[in-house]
Chains A and B, each alone.
With several copies, the nearest count.
Chain A
Amino acid sequence: MRVTVRLFARLRDITGAAELARDTAPGATIGEIWRDLAREFPELTGYERSISTAVNADYARMDTRVAEGDEIAFLPPVSGG
């Protein structure tokens, strides 16, 4: 099952990519995708407790299950305004 992972701000700097395509098992959660990513890019680990996440441009939770073609976003703490 293929999903798109989007990364912003410092998460993008760490991974070196604003967007990644990733294969994952059917029924995987966002949390599983994050942990795979953190294994690949260990610097992400420090963000585990402070990130937010979204699926298809709606806020979601780490236990949300993803589907084929979903766009998963990982969001570091925000600083707009």
Chain B
Amino acid sequence: MTPLFAIGAAPLEVDRIAATLAGAASDSADSDGAVVTFLGLVRNHNMGRRVHYLEYEAYEPLALKAFERIGREAAARWPDARLALHHRVGRLEIGEASIAIVVRSPHRGNAYAACRYAIERVKQIAPVWKREFFDGGDVWVEGATANPDDEGARAEAERLACA
């Protein structure tokens, strides 16, 4: 059985993740009216550079805890929404999916919001790094300083989720 939260090197299987989520609360699944899915794909360019491929690295046990935390935050904010989140690590080619987030809810508004919130929070607090390999070199991409207790960052994720 695929878990709700995972990080690893295997290609992401959205159908299996969605099936796990549907089965995770089979008594309430029949009252869900919306499924919103987000896939993050490896792009062939970034900041003007032509990208050949990416390598993702993670502090896996902490990443898993961060995903579970994001799930709890989303459940606190949108109690009727349920979420699954898988992240991939290792070498990823252009067009491959690095992250899959699936949300089910009785109502589409909450499903969209919780799904968007989750990806914003991943980018803020998940201990995952991507290394870009481009023409003539490579670089570790560095985004946000991870701080799960930064309420300003959390509020910004909620704002982007249009909640």
Which residues of A are at the interface with B, using a C-beta cutoff of 8 A? Answer: 6, 8-10, 13, 50-52, 54, 57-59, 73, 75-81
- What are the 3 closest A-B residue pairs judged by CB atoms, nearest first? A80-B128, A9-B129, A79-B141
Q: Is the CB of A57 within 8 A of B142?
A: no
Please tell me the size bucket of the interface on B: 20 to 34
Q: Is the CB of A8 within 8 A of B123?
A: no
Closest to A74 in B: B59
B35 on the interface (CB 8 Å rule)?
A: no
Closest to A53 in B: B146
Chain A residues within 8 Å of B50, by CB? none
With a 10 A CB-CB cut-off, give which of B63, B125, B142, B149 has the most chain A CB atoms. Answer: B142
Closest to B146 in A: A52
Which residues of B are at the interface with A, using a C-beta cutoff of 8 A? Answer: 40, 56-59, 61-63, 65, 87, 98-99, 119, 122-131, 140-149
Q: Is the CB of B129 within 8 A of A8?
A: yes
Chain B residues within 8 Å of A10, by CB? 140, 142
Q: Is the CB of B59 within 8 A of A57?
A: yes
Q: What are 10 A-B interface contacts by the 8 Å CB criterion?
A: A9-B131, A52-B127, A54-B59, A54-B62, A54-B127, A57-B61, A76-B129, A79-B140, A79-B141, A80-B58
Distance in angstroms from B29 CB to nearest chain A CB is: 19
Distance in angstroms from A68 CB to nearest chain B CB is: 20
Choose from B63, B140, B145, B149 the contact partner of A80 (Cβ within 8 Å).
B63
Known: A78-B128, A80-B123, A81-B40. A50 touches B62 (CB 8 A): no
Other than A13-B140, A54-B127, A73-B62, give 9 A-B pairs with Cβ distance below 8 A: A6-B59, A10-B140, A10-B142, A76-B142, A79-B129, A80-B58, A80-B98, A81-B98, A81-B122
